Copies of this chain bind each other. A is one copy, B any other.
Amino acid sequence: MLDEAVGLGAVTVLGVLEQAYFSLQVIYARRKYSVSPPCISGPPEFERIFRAQANCSEYFPIFITILWTSGVFFSQGLSSLCGLLYLYGRLCYFWGYAESAQGRLAPLYFSARVLWVLIGFSAVGVFLSFCRVYMELDLLQALGHA
């Protein structure tokens, strides 16, 4: 099992490192703009960095969940690739949002699209597994013979 998951594991570690980087940016921004916890409002520059990290944190569990569902039920290779694209999109989102509210949009659409691809992979993978397990029907093989 482990052997089939090494790509997913690598993307997961990268994702955690990215979240750690975002958190550190918020800590630096809190110092730079003197916004002491528990306060969460301040100059727009701070609020954009704060919200960029909050938004990425909100999507992180969704991303990890769908990455592994897609990787385990559909294809490890394709899912890991999408995972890398998603993490790249989120990095651009964070940097873009830190610059201006407008700057978050293009990378947001990009990473959302990658997420939809992973959701599609997962749905197909779970459906094929369902047919195999509960209906004893191997659709891929059946299609191959047709």
Whole-angstrom CA separation of A130 from B5 in the bound complex = 10
Q: Interface majority SS on A: helix, strand, loop or mixed?
A: helix
Q: CB within 8 A of A13: which of B2, B37, B57, B126?
A: B126
Whole-angstrom CA separation of A47 from B35 in the bound complex = 14
Range of interface residues on chain A? 35 or more
Inter-chain contact B101/A6, CB cutoff 8 Å: no
> Which positions in A face B, CB cutoff 8 Å?
1-3, 5-6, 9-10, 12-13, 15-17, 19-20, 36-40, 44, 47-48, 50-51, 54, 57-58, 60-62, 64-66, 69, 72-73, 97, 101, 104, 115, 119, 122-123, 125-126, 129-130, 132-134
